Chains A and B, each alone.
Chain A
């Protein structure tokens, strides 16, 4: 018995007298085993996964809400809430039938009306949903209590991908009354049909969120595989505890005060692993792609030569070491915009990032592009460790090229605001900012907003190039895998030619858990089904 338990026991007896009641309930063995304490990647401040598209919100939402389809470990959409689907009318009409026994947490059955309202709300905010809306004959209609239909003006073969994908926002199904909320406002209740329900009165935004098992959830029969299959929960309670300080979370894991830590710092993992009670492994095999994002509207980076100059000088190894540490199994260089290890991965056009770096050549190209010595405004978010690290490497890179740097150290919120401004950098705009994209979002062009180049409507930076868009359309129309691969290779090469943005590398992160917890898998979302504690 360790010292703490000894003190607790002794003090517990004293406390019995003092407080006139029992000591901490955590002493009860049974209760502790049925509770899982998890430290998520970020603060869970709000909870509407359609309104707020942060990853942590999506991850929590997967517990509370369910989806019609779900990607399995091979990124193929499988049926989840749906029992069967039918495509008719030359691919223009989709009819779906819900499976039996689906209930919301308030006891109501899940009806097609709820699905219709939820999908219509989701389609306003989601990229693929917007594409479908643009070609829909009418919004999703409920045919009867368990059947619903979506009629389109032209075929959309990727419908199931849209409904089952794991990129935000996911097509979660909510009760009709909640789904009627404006997509730009938050829902006020968090009722879903997922395997757990949110314990509302124990939710302290920014500190703690508690989920309790939903007894009436009927899992599918198939074995679970990411978002597909049977979601079997082996806990009565799951507590999400927000810990802003990584050192504190590390100590808590070592002490057994928490069970599972989603994002341990890479540098802390070796010491965690040395502890016999802790296991650590790669969190998401699909990893992340770091991004060096240009502003294409203003000089010098409105000139493709200046962007190419940076590409010639950028050293992905420096960036990746700064972000992910010395463990080579965690990162690799990435001469591509797409996720390595996935079917559509290609390195077409990525030679500019390979081989020894050419600082002198870059300087010449910069001069050719007309760089006149103006300060380059780099927005660096200090509160996100990878972005902070990338910002510093960029500062060193630009300085080595003889450029002057206006290093704006601020928080992610301000970066978010400032990157939306199209003014010239001297008047509140920007030249460069950093971010990263989850590898799961970069496996194909479907939800890859950052790679689009349609000018004004494009993502921050507003790149404009016809060749990339043309290749993208080819992918959407591709009838088979071969055609898809060709289209993606073309898109990759075009994006490198245009230097839409620069990938700073491919990196993975660890997750760590106590050795008495089993069933944790590496995936883009922390999945709680099939996890158990002994």
Chain B
């Protein structure tokens, strides 16, 4: 063996070194799908749920363009017709086109769902923040919220609806009142747990004013659980609206909603099941989608939320 060393390339004879065998992959490379397809692959719940919700919103917004007729147009001479080429979902007991009512009904059901989710979140946030920060108010507020929560929400909503006449606005108000306590509890819980965190302590010690603390530290941490909670509230609100209509305390029938189409058709479900079936299908799919969306968001934003929500 010569004293030449492989350390010096000039010393290495040209043919003495062969290219190394490519090593076998011990771990194959992870294919990271990018873009939209990648997003869908990694978060199926959000994709499917969100997709269906978007579809329903589309249907609601573009209802007049989707081959519908006036959903309130009565035609008693053509009542209770089975689904056919002319009436895709049949007609109801006053001769109105069920397809058009279901399509327009998406508007009311979605508006009720989103409005309740929005208002209950905003109001619940405000109450939760006050409760979490203002010690003396906490006791009173939480007692009131506990009190409201111990009245079953359906009964609360029915009772509130009994105070006024049926309208979309009143339904939204009634269901919001029933849902606010839960949201406020959630926010309060987050606030209380965050206040123990060292960085918040530090901020307080440094003399930061409360609104700034809220804005910079508390709010960002409430967004995630509140968003998830809001989706569940939305789903729950749509179901409660249908139950209110079932009992006769919901939106007035001249404004079709999935709930009151079902309520009107319930007496005939044995002989003309399509009147109940189609709105039930749309409602269930939408609520399912919103729930999936909520689950997906919860898993994506913070898997630890699964324990709390």
Contact = CB atoms under 8 A, between A and B. Distances in A.
In the complex, are there CB atoms of A and B closer than 8 Å? Answer: yes
Interface of A: 245-247, 250-251, 265, 267-268, 270-271, 317-319, 321-322, 325-326, 382-383, 385, 388-389, 392-393, 395-396, 407-411, 414
A13 to B, nearest CB: 34
Contacts of A325: 79-80, 93
A411 B76 contact: no
Contacts of A322: 74, 76, 79, 93-94
A321 B166 contact: no
Contact residues of B: prevailing secondary structure: loop
18 contacts: A247-B266, A247-B267, A247-B268, A247-B270, A267-B93, A267-B268, A267-B272, A318-B77, A319-B76, A321-B95, A325-B93, A326-B79, A382-B248, A385-B267, A388-B253, A393-B94, A407-B254, A410-B165
Contact of B271 (A245, A270, A318, A409): A270
A325 B272 CA distance: 14
Given A322-B76, A393-B74, A382 B166 contact: yes
Contacts, number: 78
Nearest to A405: B254
Interface residues of B, number: 23
A409 B94 contact: no
A318 B78 CA distance: 10
Contacts of A407: 252, 254
B254 A392 contact: yes
Contacts of B272: 267
A442 to B, nearest CB: 24
- Most-contacted residue by chain B among A251, A271, A407 (CB, 10 A): A407
A321 B95 CA distance: 10
A267 B252 CA distance: 23
B74 A396 contact: yes
Contacts of B95: 321
Interface string B255-278: 000000000001111111000000
A458 B79 CA distance: 37
A325 B271 CA distance: 14
A396 B254 CA distance: 10
Q: Which 6 A-B pairs have the closest CB atoms?
A: A321-B76, A409-B252, A246-B267, A409-B166, A396-B74, A322-B76
Given A245-B267, A319-B76, A325-B80, 11 more contacts: A247-B270, A267-B80, A267-B267, A268-B271, A322-B76, A326-B80, A382-B253, A389-B93, A407-B254, A409-B165, A410-B166
Contacts of B266: 245, 247
Contacts of B270: 247, 250-251, 268, 271
Contacts of B74: 318, 322, 392-393, 396
Interface string B179-219: 00000000000000000000000000000000000000000
A385 B93 CA distance: 11
A267 B79 CA distance: 10
B166 A317 contact: no
A325 B79 CA distance: 8
B57 to A, nearest CB: 27
Contact of B94 (A383, A389, A411): A389
Contacts of A270: 271
Nearest to A393: B74
Given A321-B79, A393-B74, A409-B165, A267 B271 contact: yes
A410 B253 CA distance: 11
B147 to A, nearest CB: 27
Contacts of A250: 270
Contact of A268 (B79, B165, B166, B268): B268
Given A247-B266, A268-B271, A395 B76 contact: no
- Most-contacted residue by chain B among A247, A250, A326, A414 (CB, 10 A): A247
Interface string B62-87: 00000000001110110110000000
